[in-house]
Amino acid sequence: MKRAEQYLSRIFHALRHKQLAGEPIRPEAEPPLPHLLAARFWYDISQGGFSQLLFNLQGEYLHETEDMLIGAQACCAHAFFVRAIRICSSNREEYQRFLASDYLTSNDVKHGLQQLSIEYFALNIDFVDEIASFINAA
């Protein structure tokens, strides 16, 4: 496992543990927000693609996620993230139904995001490689 990937994994699993234990997440005691968002992006994309990421974000931190991708110079991930947001914003009612669903229910927005994920994965560009210098500079 790469150093940046280990770092993202450690952040994600520590936050997940706190969340499951009902412990508060204090921004001043956690890694910087861009690193938290990078960990969330990395984990969700690898587990379920853009549909998983946008479902889990529940409409929050979208601008901050884009800022993180720009700051990390993750050009490919950023381009696909913008396309994912366009899929959601082009059909807001369906997007809201998707966010309110159990995730397993069929939905046009979810389907569009899954198709986008297939395109992203076909490029075989590793998100960790894209943001390694951003993470390693931490």
Assess whether pLDDT exceeds 60 at residue 27. no
- Mean pLDDT, range 4-30, rounded to an integer: 73
Q: What angle do helix axes 108-122 and 92-100 make, rounded to 10 degrees?
A: 90
Over residues 93-119, the pLDDT tens digits come to 999 999 999 999 999 999 999 999 999
**How many CB atoms are closer than 10 A to CB 95?**
22
Tell which wins on pLDDT, 6 or 96. 96
Over residues 35-77, the pLDDT tens digits come to 889 999 999 999 999 999 999 999 999 999 999 999 999 999 9
**What is the value of pTM for the model shown?**
0.87
Domain segments of the chain: what residues? 3-136
